[in-house]
Structure 1
Amino acid sequence: MARITAGVACSHIPALGVAVDLGKTGEAYWAPAFAGFDWTRAWEKREKPDVVILVYNDHATAFDMKIIPSFAIGCAEEFKPADEGWGPRKVPVVKGHPDLAWHIAQSLILDEFDMTIINEMDVDHGLTVPLSMMFGQPEEWPCKVIPLAVNVVTYPPPSGNRCWALGEAIARAVESFPEDLNVQVWGTGGMSHQLQGPRAGLINAEWDNRFLDGLVGDSDALRYIPHIEYLRETGSEGIEMVMWLVMRGALGKATRMLHRHYHVPASNTAVGHIVLEPVSGDHHDRASDAGQAIAAE
């Protein structure tokens, strides 16, 4: 059967994508931000996921005020990089996994999640930047990707508790898929940042690191953080971190941390990154072995 072997979370700051595209990752300003992903790129080469369920938010690219789905799943064969006003990023077309995506969509809807099913969609930096951070600049992405978009742009966004529960439902869906697949779930966005208004440039490193702490172990306290706390402590765009909770919910009762990185600032935003594995059951052994092998080097 398919199995979720690991969870990955990271910021999807558009300027990180620009730095990759323009060959600036080694420059003094950008190098510390990118250095924290060296471990993960080596680990991903060993882990070789078949499919990544990538939780992200669309930035008024595929969706606008005409239609605002709380949760949307991409079931197409492929998804092209979006033109966000300066031309599409010169990155590979994202290849989907329709069989698994449709299975997940059916399972989630029967599990009482009202998913919007997307059969045609361009994907913006919210999805392509994390792929660049984990895989660099390949001619094609090394795995299939199922986009899962969450509304964190227009009020009201879903609660952290609902996002965590969605992750739990995704885990049930994946584990009921008969094909032998190594699946990862990625949560993206954040960390603390605000892009407008009197608090533009806000970064709350203390809160961010407490949030990273809370992803590890068997506590589920993060799922109960209210919207107002995200807004007050992490800025208006910090609400994106509820998408990390979809990833955390999909990993089950408890997690073990394989890698962690935090850096400020990057384009007035906090860069957060963590790699987790579930600690119960035997479906995560490959992730654990790969992590231990890299740690031993």
Structure 2
Amino acid sequence: MARITAGVGCSHVPAIGVAMDTGITEQPYWKPVFEGFEKSREWMAKQKPDVVFLVYNDHCTAFSAEMIPTFALGCAAEFKPADEGWGPRPVPVVKGHQKLASHIAQSVILDEFDLTIMNAMEVDHGLTVPLSLMFGQVDEWPCLVIPLCVNVVQYPPPTGNRCFNLGKAIRRAIDSYDEDLNVVIFGTGGMSHQLQYKRAGLINAEWDQRFLDMLTEDPVAASKIPHVEYLREAGSEGVEMVMWHVMRGALDDDVTEVHRHYHVPASNTAVGHIILENKTN
């Protein structure tokens, strides 16, 4: 049977992709950011996932203000990198696992979670930056990828609790898929940051670290953090962290924290990263 063996939480700062694409990762400003992912890439190389289920948010590329689904599942055979205004990132086309994605769609929808099914979709830095951080610069992504896009752009975004329970439904779906697959689930976005108005540049390292602690030790309490707390403590874009709850909900109650990395600043934001393994795989 298919199984989720681990979860990855990861920021998806667009400038990280630019730094990799332009070869400036060794510059003093960027080097501490990327050093924190060296162990992660070693871990991923040993993990050898067959499929990555990647939770992220679109940045007005696949969707516009005219149509913003709360949850959109990518069921296509492939997902091309989007042009976000300066051309697509020079990264491989993402290959999907259509049979597993369709199975997840059926299972989750019959489990009473409404999904938008995307049979064609371009993917932006929200998805490609975490892949680049975990796999490096490659000619082809070493595994198949199923994207799940979550609305954290237009109010109201889903609650952390809704995302946490969706993760549990995704876990049930994958557990019931009759093929021997090693699946790693990503929750991306965040951490604390605000891009506009008087609090632009806000970073709350203490709150971010407490969030990471709760993610490992008390995920139910973390999932109950209200929107107003994300806004107050982590900035207007800090609500992206609700997507990490999808990842955590798909894991066992008790997990092992394999690695953590936190760095400030990276393009005026905080970079957060955590790897959690199920104790029984």
Q: Into which bin does the TM-score normalised by the smaller protein fall? A: over 0.9
Cα-to-partner distance string for 1:75-112 (whole Å, 9 max, x where unaligned): 00000000000000000000000000000000000000
Cα distance between partner residues in 2 of 1:219 and 1:38: 26
Residue ranges of structure 2 left out of the alignment (5+ in a row): none
Residue 241 of structure 1 aligns to which amino acid in structure 2?
M
Q: How many angstroms does 1:252 deviate by?
A: 2.4
Cα-to-partner distance string for 1:118-146 (whole Å, 9 max, x where unaligned): 00000000000000000111100001000
3-state SS of 1:245 partner: helix
The RMSD of aligned alpha carbons is: 0.7
Aligned to 2:182: 182
Residue ranges of structure 1 left out of the alignment (5+ in a row): 284-297
3-state SS of 1:220 partner: helix
Cα distance between partner residues in 2 of 1:40 and 1:153: 28
Summarize the alignment of residues 233-272 of structure 1 with structure 2, pairs less than 5 Å apart. Answer: 233-272=233-272
Could you tell me whether the CA contact under 8 Å between 1:168 and 1:252 is conserved in 2?
no
Could you tell me whether the CA contact under 8 Å between 1:160 and 1:226 is conserved in 2?
yes
Residue 88 of structure 2 aligns to which amino acid in structure 1?
P
Residue 66 of structure 1 aligns to which amino acid in structure 2?
E
Cα distance between partner residues in 2 of 1:122 and 1:23: 24
3-state SS of 1:273 partner: strand
Q: How many angstroms does 1:220 deviate by?
A: 1.4
Summarize the alignment of residues 258-297 of structure 1 with structure 2, pairs less than 5 Å apart. Answer: 258-279=258-279, 282-283=280-281
3-state SS of 1:272 partner: strand
3-state SS of 1:274 partner: strand
Return the TM-score normalized by structure 1.
Answer: 0.94
Could you tell me whether the CA contact under 8 Å between 2:7 and 2:184 is conserved in 1?
yes
Q: How many angstroms does 1:256 deviate by?
A: 1.2
Q: How many angstroms does 1:219 deviate by?
A: 4.5
Could you tell me whether the CA contact under 8 Å between 1:192 and 1:238 is conserved in 2?
yes
Task: Provide the identity percentage.
Answer: 70
Aligned to 2:230: 230
Could you tell me whether the CA contact under 8 Å between 1:190 and 1:240 is conserved in 2?
yes
Cα distance between partner residues in 2 of 1:219 and 1:125: 27
Residue 120 of structure 1 aligns to which amino acid in structure 2?
A
3-state SS of 2:165 partner: helix
Could you tell me whether the CA contact under 8 Å between 1:72 and 1:150 is conserved in 2?
yes
Cα distance between partner residues in 2 of 1:259 and 1:171: 22
Aligned to 2:55: 55
3-state SS of 1:68 partner: coil
3-state SS of 1:216 partner: helix
Aligned to 2:143: 143
Aligned to 1:8: 8
Cα-to-partner distance string for 1:192-244 (whole Å, 9 max, x where unaligned): 00000000000000000000001113541001000000000000000000000
Residue 85 of structure 1 aligns to which amino acid in structure 2?
G
Q: How many angstroms does 1:163 deviate by?
A: 0.3
Could you tell me whether the CA contact under 8 Å between 1:74 and 1:121 is conserved in 2?
yes
3-state SS of 2:167 partner: helix
Cα-to-partner distance string for 1:229-268 (whole Å, 9 max, x where unaligned): 0000000000000000000000021211000000000000
Aligned to 1:26: 26
